[in-house]
């Protein structure tokens, strides 16, 4: 896996400090450093471009994305996503159809569960969802999501699954990477939804997070696999059922985080940035490091930073 994007000067300084003891002897041309952190190679260039390569590249990249947001209040855009934006020539109508779509939330958050939802939207629901603002779901704040999603859940058939951190960590220990876990959960909610009714649909849509061949390869040990899926990038923007699934998943994720916050009597930061590290150290100081196994995704790089491994 390779992920690249540009960061600001103050984030560059943080990275230089963070990786100073992990640097490789040889530095590529025009690079400030190249470092090895576990199974990820990080290369920071003078231009501010940073490249993450390796199995856990997404976890390392998400940490520095969050840092950029905290330090500068802006989100970075991955280079490959800029390219996708220019080259997306898919003219398929995912919108004005009867569709089933699934989407997940929580995969980039150190604390809290992964929530995956599949939902069914028919053509008659389109105007109802547009009135709620679902068409522009990415623009909705968490407060708006908490307000409108119960209305969606009352009207739109859906199936959700919440994978708590203990279960996630066990799957990781058994050798399941994030993409395999996501594939298993998408398959689970799709099959669960289809059992509820004899839905009439034109298409089943999943936002493509891995090549189609890999998706089904991850599921080769599953007893029942749903295979009639259309994979497309940025599906949340194209397909209302995927957008609904994203919003329902986010709603349930926020509710789970609220429960955790109440239990710990503290606000839990989202994402995987430096605020998360600070909160993690407080948790370890108060409850011990074993508490992280219950509330956090242990394979994230935040664990090393929190425990100073």
Does residue 8 sit in the same domain as residue 127?
no
- Conformational region of residue 167, where left means phi above 0, alpha means psi within -120 to 50, and beta covers everything else: alpha
Does residue 282 sit in the same domain as residue 251?
no
Q: How far is it, in rounded angstroms, from Cα 129 to Cα 248?
A: 13
Does residue 53 sit in the same domain as residue 184?
no
Residue 292 inside a domain? The answer is yes
Does residue 61 sit in the same domain as residue 125?
no
Mean pLDDT to the nearest integer, 267-294? 93
Segments forming the whole domain that contains residue 179: 99-259
Residue 82 has pLDDT above 70, yes or no: no
Does residue 279 sit in the same domain as residue 201?
no
Segment 43-75, tens digit of pLDDT: 999 999 999 998 778 888 888 888 888 888 777
Residue 264 inside a domain? The answer is no
Does residue 211 sit in the same domain as residue 82?
no
Residue 265 inside a domain? The answer is no
pTM (2 d.p.): 0.78
Does residue 248 sit in the same domain as residue 140?
yes
- What average pLDDT does the chain have? 91
Residue 152 inside a domain? The answer is yes
Q: How many domains does the chain have?
A: 3
Does residue 129 sit in the same domain as residue 209?
yes
Segment 199-226, tens digit of pLDDT: 999 999 999 888 899 999 999 999 999 9
Does residue 246 sit in the same domain as residue 128?
yes
Residue 279 inside a domain? The answer is yes
Segment 95-123, tens digit of pLDDT: 999 999 999 999 989 999 999 999 999 99
- Give Cα separations from 9 to 48, 63, 104, 270, 275 (angstroms): 7, 16, 33, 24, 19
Could you tell me the pLDDT band of residue 86, with boundaries at 50, 70 and 90?
very low
Q: Across the chain, which distance is largest between two alpha carbons, in Å?
A: 62
């Amino acid at each position: 896996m390779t992920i690249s994007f540009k960061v600001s000067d103050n984030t560059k300084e943080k990275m230089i400090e963070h990786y100073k003891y992990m640097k490789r002897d040889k530095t590529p041309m025009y690079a400030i450093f190249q470092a090895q952190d576990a199974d990820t190679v990080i290369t920071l260039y003078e231009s501010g471009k940073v490249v993450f390569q390796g199995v856990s590249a997404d976890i390392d990249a998400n940490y520095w994305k969050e840092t950029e947001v905290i330090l500068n209040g802006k989100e970075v855009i991955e280079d490959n996503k800029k390219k996708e934006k220019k080259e997306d020539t898919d003219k398929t109508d995912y919108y004005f159809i009867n569709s089933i779509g699934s989407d997940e939330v929580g995969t980039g958050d150190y604390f809290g569960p992964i929530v995956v939802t599949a939902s069914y939207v028919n053509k008659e629901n389109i105007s109802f969802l547009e009135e709620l603002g679902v068409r522009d779901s990415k623009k909705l704040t968490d407060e708006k999501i908490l307000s409108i999603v119960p209305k969606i859940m009352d009207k739109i058939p859906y199936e959700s699954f919440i994978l708590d951190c203990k279960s996630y960590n066990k799957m990781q220990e058994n050798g399941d990477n994030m993409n395999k876990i996501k594939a298993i959960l998408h398959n689970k909610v799709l099959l669960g939804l289809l059992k509820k009714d004899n839905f009439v649909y034109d298409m089943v849509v999943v936002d493509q997070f891995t090549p189609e061949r890999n998706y089904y390869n991850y599921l080769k040990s599953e007893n029942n696999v749903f295979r009639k899926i259309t994979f497309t990038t940025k599906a949340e923007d194209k397909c209302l059922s995927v957008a609904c699934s994203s919003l329902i998943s986010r709603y349930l994720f926020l509710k789970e985080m609220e429960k955790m916050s109440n239990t710990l009597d503290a606000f839990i930061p989202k994402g995987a940035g430096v605020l998360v590290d600070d909160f993690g150290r407080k948790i370890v100081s108060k409850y011990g490091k074993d508490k992280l196994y219950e509330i956090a995704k242990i394979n994230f790089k935040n664990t090393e930073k929190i425990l100073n491994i």
